[in-house]
């Protein structure tokens, strides 16, 4: 709230300076503007702030060779993100890469209690569907998950996981045999939130698929999404659990300060999204409201952006009953934009 008041006071001062003094020189006004800019800095969560960041990634290091899949190799690998060693699952198709290199899918998993997370567990059928269809797949663990260094700070009040995925993208672009211009991104739930943000921050992701994603704007997340249980998820620091309270105390509510809340929402930057989106959501999703996906589609279309939405009647957060058709649609979508280049 202090920063909100500071902005209002500075705005009033600037108005007085302009209206109340005809003798104010251009130099004085310029100096005043520079002073304001120094005091009102970009908040780290702002999309513009993230766009100014550097996400160089690193070379990917193979830490362990796993048993192979049906037609692909599997590894536990690591890369660097803000100096932290982040682990990931990497799969690579057998055989020679096609001309230009293998297309890539960055796979962003949903919320799993960090203390319970294991690189090779859960989402096995999901990753296999992409891996056996001719894609290099990289599934980052995020900091504080499994063996990854750092603290699990949560996704919504911190940039940490977003930055880990941005660095994963930069890292896989350096891996031998991949096509750095043919990278897609898949995300589930929390991973959908990370996918959408990555696609408005940079231009590397040429197509995105989101299942049951937390894709509402921050005002929607704040006002229209509460978890079923009041018990905080295990393994998340107390400060990260209070992001709603922390941000509203500092900046006011979305109704009081819409400019700030829009500035941290990926939905406000869909005009710059890096590629087409395919969205999937079940009507009986008890974790994330399907309205998030429906509204995102409504926001994309007037901007002339390519978007597909599939709603699955009676299905749950994991699309348990529709997994086969949803996965077929996802693979076909990536094939269209990463293999055939349409």
More confident residue, 4 or 289: 289
Contact between 192 and 210 under an 8 Å Cβ cutoff? The reply is yes
pLDDT computed for residue 200 by the predictor: 98
pLDDT of residue 157: 92
Q: The pTM is what?
A: 0.86
Q: What is the chain's mean pLDDT, rounded?
A: 88
How far is Cα 61 from Cα 78, in angstroms, rounded to an integer?
A: 5
- Of 313, 308, 315, give the one whose Cα is nearest residue 329: 308
Q: Across residues 177-192, what is the average pLDDT? A: 98
Statement: residue 219 has pLDDT above 50: yes
Give percent of the chain with pLDDT exceeding 90: 79
**For the chain, what percent of residues have pLDDT higher than 70?**
83
pLDDT digits (tens, 9 = 90+) for 227-237: 544 455 555 55
Q: What is the DSSP letter of 71?
A: S
Structure tokens, 212: 């049951």
DSSP, res 317: T
For residue 62, the model assigns a pLDDT of: 98
Q: What is the pLDDT of residues 316-340, one digit of tens each?
A: 999 999 999 999 999 999 999 999 8
pLDDT one-digit tens code per residue, 48-65:
999 999 999 999 999 999
Give domain limits for the chain: 2-39, 57-339
- The whole-angstrom separation of Cα 51 and Cα 53 is 5
Helix (H, G, I), strand (E, B) or coil at 78: strand
Closest CA to 311 of 265, 273, 280, 267: 280
Per-residue pLDDT at 41: 73
Distance CA 59, CA 56 (A): 10
- CATH superfamily assigned to domain 57-339: Alpha/Beta hydrolase fold, catalytic domain (3.40.50.1820)
Alpha helices, DSSP H, located in 264-336: 291-300, 323-334
pLDDT (tens digit per residue) in 191-200: 999 999 999 9
Counts of helices then strands in the chain (DSSP H, E) = 12, 9
Angle, to 10 degrees, between the axis of helix 190-201 and the axis of helix 160-173?
60
Q: Judge whether residue 273 has pLDDT over 60.
A: yes
- Window from 24-33, 88-97, 112-121 with minimum mean pLDDT: 24-33
Closest among 137, 147, 173, 144 to 161, alpha carbons compared: 144
Which pLDDT does position 227 carry in this prediction?
A: 53
Torsional sign, CA 298, 342, 130, 63: negative
Looking at residue 4, what is its pLDDT? 46
Q: For 266-271, what is the mean pLDDT?
A: 98
H helices of 187-227, in order, are 190-201, 218-224
**pLDDT-derived band of residue 15, with 50, 70 and 90 as boundaries?**
very low
Structure tokens at 60: 């990917």
């Amino acid at each position: 709230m202090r920063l909100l008041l500071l902005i209002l006071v500075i705005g009033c001062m600037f108005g007085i300076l302009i209206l109340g003094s005809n003798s104010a020189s251009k130099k004085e006004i310029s100096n005043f503007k520079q002073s304001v800019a120094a005091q009102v800095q970009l908040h780290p969560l702002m999309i513009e702030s993230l766009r100014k960041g550097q996400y160089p990634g690193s070379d990917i290091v193979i830490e362990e060779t796993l048993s192979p899949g049906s037609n692909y190799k599997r590894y536990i690998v690591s890369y660097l993100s803000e100096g932290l060693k982040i682990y990931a699952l990497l799969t690579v198709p057998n055989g020679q890469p096609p001309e230009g290199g293998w297309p890539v899918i960055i796979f962003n998993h949903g919320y799993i209690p960090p203390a319970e997370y294991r690189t090779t567990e859960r989402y096995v059928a999901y990753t296999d569907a992409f891996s056996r269809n001719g894609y290099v797949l990289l599934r980052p663990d995020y900091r504080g998950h499994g063996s990854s260094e750092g603290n699990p700070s949560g996704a919504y009040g911190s940039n940490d996981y977003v930055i880990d995925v941005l660095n994963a993208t930069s890292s896989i672009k350096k891996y031998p045999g991949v096509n750095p211009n043919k990278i897609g991104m898949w995300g589930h739930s929390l991973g959908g939130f990370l996918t959408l943000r990555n696609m408005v921050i940079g231009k590397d992701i040429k197509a995105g698929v989101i299942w049951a994603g937390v894709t509402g704007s921050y005002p929607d997340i704040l006002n229209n999404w509460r978890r079923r249980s009041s018990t905080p998820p295990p393994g998340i620091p107390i400060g990260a659990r209070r992001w709603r309270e922390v941000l509203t105390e500092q900046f006011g509510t979305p109704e009081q300060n819409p400019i700030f809340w829009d500035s941290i929402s990926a939905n406000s930057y869909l005009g710059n999204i890096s590629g087409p989106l395919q969205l999937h959501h079940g009507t009986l999703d008890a974790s994330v409201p399907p309205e998030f996906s429906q509204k995102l589609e409504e926001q994309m279309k007037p901007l002339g952006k390519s978007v597909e939405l599939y709603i699955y009647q009676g299905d749950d957060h994991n699309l348990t009953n529709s997994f086969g058709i949803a996965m077929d649609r996802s693979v076909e979508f990536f094939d269209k934009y990463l293999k055939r280049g349409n």
